[in-house]
Amino acid sequence: MLNHKAAIEGNPFHRATLADVVPDLVAVARGSKPADLVIRDGKLVNVVSGEVIPGISVGIYGSRIAFVGKDASHLIGEGTRVIEAKGRYMAPGLLDGHCHIESTQLTVTQFARAVLPLGTTGGFFDPHEISNVLGLKGLRLMVEEARGTPLAAYMQVASCVPSTGPQLETTGAYIGPDEVAEAFTWGPDVIALGEVMNFPGVVYGDEKMLGEIQATLRAGRLADGHFTWPTGDWRLAAYAASGITGDHECVTAEDVIERVRLGMYAMMRRGSAWHDVARTITAHTEHGIDPRRLMLVTDDRSSESLLDEGHMNFVVRHAIQQGVKPVTAFQMATINTAERFGVARDVGTITPGSCADIILLDGPLADVNVVLTIAAGQVVAEHGVMVTELPAFQYPEEATSSMKLKRDVRATDFIINTPLDTGIVKARVIELLENRVDTRELFRELNAHKGILSELPHDLCKMAVIERHHASGDQALGLVAGVGFTEAAAIALTVAHDSHNLMVIGNDDDYMALAANTVRSAHGGIAVVTSGGTTILPLPIAGLMSDAPFEQVAEASRAISQALIQAGCKVNYATMTISLLALVVIPELRLSDKGLVRISDEGFQIVPLFVE
């Protein structure tokens, strides 16, 4: 499991491998040795059998479960802690089957502090955000920090650094087959190849992408997917033939059904701004698809939404509200996820021998009201509050000095030159879509005057992506609709998936320059500039994460949202959606530092801003 000797020295949350503690667990189960912790008289949510069983007790020794049964009195000794469940539900700790911790703008430690009280005790995390900035060094930092937390944190190796190729975007690092193979030598908690977003590369035989998948399979690991072409033709089968066995880019019931029929796991996503569960869950509730290969995931949740809504507890509750039976919904966030990644012996169930990751829930099961969290055999949270301290993790200077611009940003950098001196020009526009990861390509007729784009309509903003990893000075300009600014405003952010260059959006060139330089001075982050002033969320770790406590980051994130709302942008968790406008692997139109990228059935291509 997660207990590599070098990583566990002094770790209070060490998870013992089952093989190492077999004699102890058996001795505890027969009563020859006292349990460390006993939970008595709970209603067991048995995700293995799909039933709720009353009057069950659980005995824990160290980080693992020794006993599950009706009477645990023979396990109790002088030093045994006893928790009276008093008929509350006992369920396995929730698992997030696909999550990017960096999207919360939190470090792994602060993420653990945020989600453990909500019942999340583990997950399968793809650090491809920090990997695109720092490469394997960034991934290694995330792995090392995670090992010091109570989370059953399984890390994935970023497959797409860059997400497509250097001709379409500039990143801070490169990961190929050799780097993937190296990362898998770090230990079994590096469990899979992260989402393979370059799906055209897989289908049409790109050497780098197929080489990474081969390195993964040779290491005995799994490969995760990201496939956004429409359902119904041969290409998904070709993608699955590569060995990719799961995909979170399901947005319709048909997407789910097609993946399951091909032997893949379909991940149904409810992030802060990606609201896909309500549509995709109908594959089970209306079409009758067997739920054993269905998983609930978050993908991306902001720290603000963790505070407002929750984490996997929120997603499970939401699935139940869509008509899923409560026990089935819990299976989609526990055993199904563990089985997909081949670790059901360790996590995802309350069974003898498994890791002691258990949550107690008050009230109806459908409410998913977590009142106590046990992770790695220790009570870590009660009534929504952490009751144990987590060790601090120090990020090196290399991680906190990733902001490299050639010079300060100037208002003149946002002047858009036109192919026509004066008259009407036809321009491509990226349309932002609320609560969706995709965009729409629009065409608008605009006014050119003296060779530049003159005053824009009120519903359009300028957009720039400026390379910030190598100080090259490269940048590209575009136009975006759907932001909603009703007054002069700008937002700049280094959270710009997945290359995480500096993205600037606004309707006032001076404000855009001020927002960009504010972010630069903060060594990364998010800044909003309006007539009321400047609001900043500093993210100095790789330009993606804050080293501040979870609560402070969440409130700073809320301040950014409020500044956007006051400027007229009422998009739900707007920064989450805005941050995807540079993600060149999701249809239809995006902007990178290389230019406008269109994603179509033919793959990826750079297209001009103006149409002749």
Q: What is the DSSP string of 394-431?
A: PPPHHHH-----SS---GGGG--B-SSSSEEEEEEEEE
214-232 mean pLDDT: 95
Q: What is the pLDDT of residue 9?
A: 52
CA dist 445 and 510 (Å) reads 25
* Phi and psi at residue 369, to the nearest 5°: -95, 95
With 60 as the cut, is the pLDDT of residue 2 above it?
Answer: no
DSSP structure class, residue 269: E
Specify whether the CB–CB gap between 75 and 121 falls below 8 A.
no
Task: Read off the DSSP letter of residue 553.
Answer: H
Q: Does the pLDDT value for residue 601 go beyond 80?
A: no
Phi, psi of 207 (to 5 degrees): -60, -40
pLDDT value for 5: 41
Instruction: Encode pLDDT of 50-108 as tens digits.
Output: 999 999 999 999 999 999 999 999 999 999 999 999 999 999 999 999 999 999 999 99
pLDDT digits (tens, 9 = 90+) for 445-494: 999 999 999 889 999 999 999 999 999 999 999 999 999 999 999 999 99
431-452 pLDDT per residue, tens:
999 988 899 999 999 999 999 9
DSSP tag of 509: H
Q: According to DSSP H, which parts of 322-387 are helical?
A: 326-332, 335-340
**Average pLDDT score over residue span 333-342:** 98
Q: Has residue 136 got a pLDDT over 70? A: yes
pLDDT tens-digit profile of 241-268?
999 999 999 999 999 999 999 999 999 9
pLDDT(536) > 60: yes
Whether residue 506 has pLDDT greater than 60: yes
Each domain of the chain, given as residue ranges in start order, spans 95-341, 398-611
Q: Which residue has the tokens 């950014």?
A: 560
SS3 379: strand
- Average pLDDT for residues 591-600, to the nearest whole number? 94
Q: What percent of the chain has pLDDT over 70?
A: 98
Do the Cβ atoms of 502 and 536 come closer than 8 Å? Answer: no
Which distant-in-sequence residues (6+ apart) come within 8 Å of 68 by Cβ?
Answer: 44, 56, 57, 58, 59, 350, 351, 352
What pLDDT is stored for residue 7 in this prediction? 38
Q: Measured in whole angstroms, how far is the alpha carbon of residue 547 from the centre of its chain?
A: 18
Amino acid at position 395, single letter = Y
| 272 pLDDT more than 70 | yes
C-beta atoms surrounding 84 within 10 Å: 11
Question: CA-to-CA distance for 588 and 310, rounded, in angstroms?
Answer: 30
Report pLDDT for 165: 78
From CA 512, how far away is CA 506, in angstroms rounded? 6
Span 119-124, average pLDDT: 98
Task: Select the more confidently predicted residue: 9 or 305.
Answer: 305
Question: How far apart (Å, rounded) are the C-alpha atoms in residues 414 and 397?
Answer: 32
Whole-angstrom Cα distance, residue 549 to residue 117?
15
Q: What is the pLDDT, as a whole number, of residue 537?
A: 98
| 12: enclosing H helix or E strand | none
Architecture of the domain made up of 95-341 = Alpha-Beta Barrel (3.20)
Supply the DSSP string of 157-188, one letter for each residue: E-S-BSSS-TTT---S--B-HHHHHHHTTS-T
| Residues 229, 158: Cα–Cα separation, whole Å | 21
SS (HEC) of 42-72: EEEEECCCCEEEEEEEEEEECCEEEEEECCC
Task: List the structure tokens of 36.
Answer: 């460390």
Q: Quick one: which of 504, 478, 507, 509 has its CA closest to 491?
A: 504
Q: Which residues pair with 99 in a beta bridge?
A: 125, 299
- At 209 the pLDDT is 96
Strands of the sheet with 190-196, listed across from one edge: 94-99, 120-125, 152-157, 190-196, 222-225, 244-247, 265-269, 294-297
The model's pLDDT over 338-350, given as tens digits with 9 standing for 90+, comes to 999 999 999 999 9
Q: Which tens digits make up the pLDDT trace of 18-57?
A: 999 999 999 999 999 999 999 999 999 999 999 999 999 9
> Burial letters for 404-435: b for 16+ Cβ neighbours within 10 Å, e otherwise?
ebeeebeeebbebebeeeeeebebbbbbbeee
Distance CA 565, CA 557 (A): 13
Mind listing the pLDDT tens digit for each residue in 371-393? 999 999 999 999 999 999 999 99
Nearest by Cα to 508 from 527, 526, 487: 487
Residue identified by tokens 């069983």 is 53
Q: Computed over its alpha carbons, how large is the radius of gyration of the chain?
A: 25
Mean pLDDT of 389-406: 95
